[in-house]
Amino acid sequence: MPRLVFGASVRRVEDPPLLRGEGRYVDDLQPSDCLHAVFLRSHLAHALIRSIDIEAASKATGVVALWSAPDFIDLEPLEIESAVDGMTIPERRVLASGRVRHVGEALAMLIAESAAQARDALELVELDLDPLPAVTDVERALQEGAQLLYPEFGTNLAFQNASRHGPVKRSFDRAQVIVRERLLNQRLIPSALEPRGALAWLDDERLTLQISSQSTFGVREAVAASLGIDEKDLRVIVRDVGGGFGSKGGCLGEEIAVAAAARRLRRPVKWIPGTAADNCRRSSLRRNVTEPCWQSARGSWPTWARTWSRTARSFPPSHRTYRPAAIASPPPRTPSKASIPTRRQPGRTVAPADRRRLSLSSG
């Protein structure tokens, strides 16, 4: 007789090994002859890179290699997903070149025989940055005279996307109550117990990369494309992951750099960032400003959301509405902060909070 599942208490099969301490995370792997990588990161949110002096660090005990952006010129830029057709997409390299655009952006990679030697040698790198004004607020990013993160584009506007549904004017004309609000959703860091990390090695000329990620095949595709190799020549392994919450999706430049280093040096290379470095590099989330209009009537409520389009589309109907009359989503701005990824129902966590605020305001 088949085992009943629906309505039954089903014992989880993945928990016992973790409870016994038998989980296998990236840093638990200790291959012989393994090298350790660290990254020099920007301490400024926006600056021009004047120089990176690596002479003293290169001579430090245990240092095997020290590379900056020109040393990775053979790698293809990372792919950036286009949110809408015709979106202007900047070139994203493994290491920053010419300019840094957020605190924690990687500028150089140092590889040593041990993690301690790598950290000590990194202190000897002399970094000269020319500070530029930082734009840390999404609204100020579009103000006249705001500092441009990508001067070649002439704007901090990332893209525009709007959708429209229903008879907007008629809905407003018939509304008994119209409520206008300005709602702020703060940025946050989805900080997992295990940081992002990577370990790469060659196995009979086939490159293997073990990572803490939520995007196994996406990382394989991105790394293979950047290295210029066929996907069948790259194996990506994801075993136990110590938390992710959406922030471990996609591919990092550091993961590509580790893979490239293992191919060049023909030795295993591991990168495990500390919590501070991981939080600086980890993509932060949300920071939305929403200015919706709610009409309390027998029909529906239009919304203009200054936020991501998915947030706007996620406004669900309530007991007093049937469907949105209109949803328009003006564009994300580009501030001097780390990129914004997904996090557990991307965009949809903001919409219920905003809808609740509007319900309370409308009585």
Instruction: Identify the band that residue 168 occupies on the pLDDT scale cut at 50, 70 and 90.
Output: confident
Tell me how far apart the alpha carbons of residues 215 and 7 are, in angstroms, rounded to a whole number.
31
Residues 229 and 350 in one domain: no
**Domain assignment of residue 183, yes or no:** yes
Number of domains in the chain: 2
Tell me how far apart the alpha carbons of residues 220 and 216 are, in angstroms, rounded to a whole number.
6
pLDDT digits (tens, 9 = 90+) for 2-59: 667 788 888 888 899 999 999 999 999 999 999 999 999 999 999 999 999 999 999 9
Of 232, 257, 281, the domain-final residue:
281
Residues 272 and 167 in one domain: no
Strand-pairing partners, residue 178, are 295
DSSP 41-58: E-SSSSEEEEEEE-HHHH
Measured CA to CA in angstroms, residue 335 lies from 31, 184, 288, 305, 338 at distances of: 40, 16, 12, 18, 8
Residues 154 and 64 in one domain: no
Residues 172-199 as b/e (b if ≥16 CB within 10 A, e otherwise) read: beebeeebeeebebeeebbebebbbbbb
Residues 236-265 as b/e (b if ≥16 CB within 10 A, e otherwise) read: bebeebbebbbbbbbbbbbbbbbbbbbeee
Residues 173 and 31 in one domain: no
Residues 35 and 124 in one domain: yes
Of 257, 281, 305, the domain-final residue:
281
**Domain assignment of residue 268, yes or no:** yes
Residues 98 and 40 in one domain: yes
What proportion of the chain, given as a percentage, has pLDDT over 70? 74
**Domain assignment of residue 4, yes or no:** no
Q: Which residue stretches of the chain are H helix?
A: 15-19, 55-58, 115-122, 168-174, 216-227, 253-265, 275-281, 309-313, 350-362
pLDDT digits (tens, 9 = 90+) for 112-167: 999 999 999 999 999 999 999 988 877 788 888 999 888 988 888 877 766 666 67
Residues 156 and 27 in one domain: no
**Domain assignment of residue 8, yes or no:** no
pLDDT digits (tens, 9 = 90+) for 335-346: 555 655 555 655
Whether residue 136 contacts residue 45, with contact meaning beta carbons closer than 8 Å, is answered with yes
CATH number, domain containing residue 349? 3.30.365.10
**Domain assignment of residue 277, yes or no:** yes
Q: Which residue type is seen at 24?
A: R
pLDDT digits (tens, 9 = 90+) for 262-309: 999 999 999 999 888 887 766 555 455 555 544 433 222 333 333 344
Residues 80 and 159 in one domain: no
- The pLDDT of residue 282 is 62
Of 239, 261, 281, the domain-final residue:
281
- The pLDDT of residue 301 is 31
Residues 20 and 122 in one domain: yes
Residues 264 and 311 in one domain: no
Residue 221 has pLDDT above 90, yes or no: yes
Average pLDDT over residues 50-77: 97
Distance, CA of 17 to chain centre: 30
Tell me how far apart the alpha carbons of residues 164 and 75 are, in angstroms, rounded to a whole number.
42
3-state secondary structure 142-156: HCCCCCCCCHHHCCC
Inter-helix orientation angle 253-265/216-227, to 10°? 60
Residue of 353, 351, 334 whose CA lies nearest to 92? 334
CATH number, domain containing residue 96? 3.90.1170.50
**Domain assignment of residue 125, yes or no:** yes
- The pLDDT of residue 162 is 65
Residues 272 and 250 in one domain: yes
**Domain assignment of residue 45, yes or no:** yes
Residues 275 and 291 in one domain: no
**Domain assignment of residue 253, yes or no:** yes
Residue of 184, 285, 200, 207 whose CA lies nearest to 244? 285
Q: How many CA atoms, within 13 angstroms, populate the side-chain half-sphere of residue 252?
A: 28
Domain that holds residue 327: 140-189+285-362
